[in-house]
Chains A and B, each alone.
Chain A
Amino acid sequence: MRRNARRESRKERGILTTELAVIMPFVVIFAVVAVFLVRVNQHSARTQSAADAAARAATFHELGSAQADAAARAAADRICQGTVQVDPLDTVAVPEATQPGLVRVTVTCTEDLGFDIFGSASTRTVRAVGVSTVEFWTAQ
């Protein structure tokens, strides 16, 4: 009986190592995928922030002016960590004497997520829309 038990325990030696060796690649893959998803989410959030900042920066200048475009581009450039493209500003509502105006900015941010899979760079392009109010007294 004792000899059988000893033979059993000898056969099971190394099973845990084997199990760990089988599971570990899946754990590593899961961790890599999780990090990738976090970076994707951060990129989307940064693009939205860039669009909001660009819209807000544009409201401090005369709507439709080159300064407003330049301010929007500079604000988006500061936040996006890659290549940024700002579409021409869209004045949704023109500020009147007692009503505010509204500026809409579309920003496209292209970033490298740092996951070079099979030799090709992992760039991602996201488009976001930001809006900002123009109080009428700032437009005067």
Chain B
Amino acid sequence: MRSAPHRERVCSERGSMSIFLALLIVAFVGMSLVLADGARRLGNISRAEDLASEVARAAAATLEVSSLATGSAELANQDDLEAQAEVVLGAVSNARLVSLDVGDSGRFVDVVVEVSGTSIIPGFDVTAQGRHSAQVVDPFDSFAVADTTGLADLSANS
């Protein structure tokens, strides 16, 4: 004859697999959401880097008109550089300029851009920043420009 405690022990294990499966599924779903948000953040980092490179190139190509008369290329003032950066970022959505700095020598432009997004997991941040530098290229030295008369006239009339 079976003892009562033994019968109770057998009955108490019923349903344990269902609980285990429920916990496992919750863990799988949670892990998937974390992976998805992580991938989106990595994508935003890559996008921010690409945009920073385009903004840096655009800023490095924004020259001061009056400097052309001296036969060299100097960067425009900070406001003009930032306005040029905003033109580039305005063409794409969910990106903004964080900082734009000109190097001490005035030959490099350093740009930081931020790309934002909404995350699936509350409290998780997928916003990312990218940084890039570009060198100012002097068109008089670096390129065989066929006719610089137009440039000289422009600087004279400015």
Residues of A bordering B, CB below 8 Å: 4, 19, 22-23, 26, 30, 33-34, 37-38, 41, 44-45, 48, 52, 92-93, 97-100, 102, 104, 129, 131-133, 135-137, 140
- Name the prevailing secondary structure of the B interface residues: helix
Query: How distant is B94 from chain A, measured CB to nearest CB, in Å?
Result: 11
Number of A-B contacts (CB under 8 A): 84
B50 within 8 A of A: yes
| A26-B21 Cα distance, complex, nearest whole Å | 9
Which of B92, B139, B146, B154 has a CB less than 8 Å from the CB of A129?
Answer: B92
Residues of A within 8 A of B97 (CB): none
Residues of B within 8 A of A92 (CB): 87, 90-91
Residues of A within 8 A of B20 (CB): 19
Contact status of A102 and B88, CB under 8 A, knowing A23-B24, A45-B43: yes
Residues of B within 8 A of A129 (CB): 91-93
CB<8 Å pairs between A and B, sample of 20: A4-B6, A22-B21, A23-B21, A23-B24, A37-B35, A37-B39, A92-B87, A92-B90, A92-B91, A97-B154, A99-B62, A99-B84, A100-B61, A100-B62, A129-B93, A131-B88, A133-B57, A133-B61, A135-B137, A136-B61
Would you list which residues of chain B between 37 and 59 have a CB under 8 Å from chain A? 39, 43, 46-47, 50-51, 54, 57-58
Task: Give the size of the chain B interface in residues (CB under 8 angstroms).
Answer: 41
- Name the prevailing secondary structure of the A interface residues: helix
Bits for B2-45, please: 1 = Cβ < 8 Å to A, else 0.
Answer: 00001000000000010011001100100010011001000100
Query: How distant is B48 from chain A, measured CB to nearest CB, in Å?
Result: 12
Residues of A within 8 A of B17 (CB): 19, 22
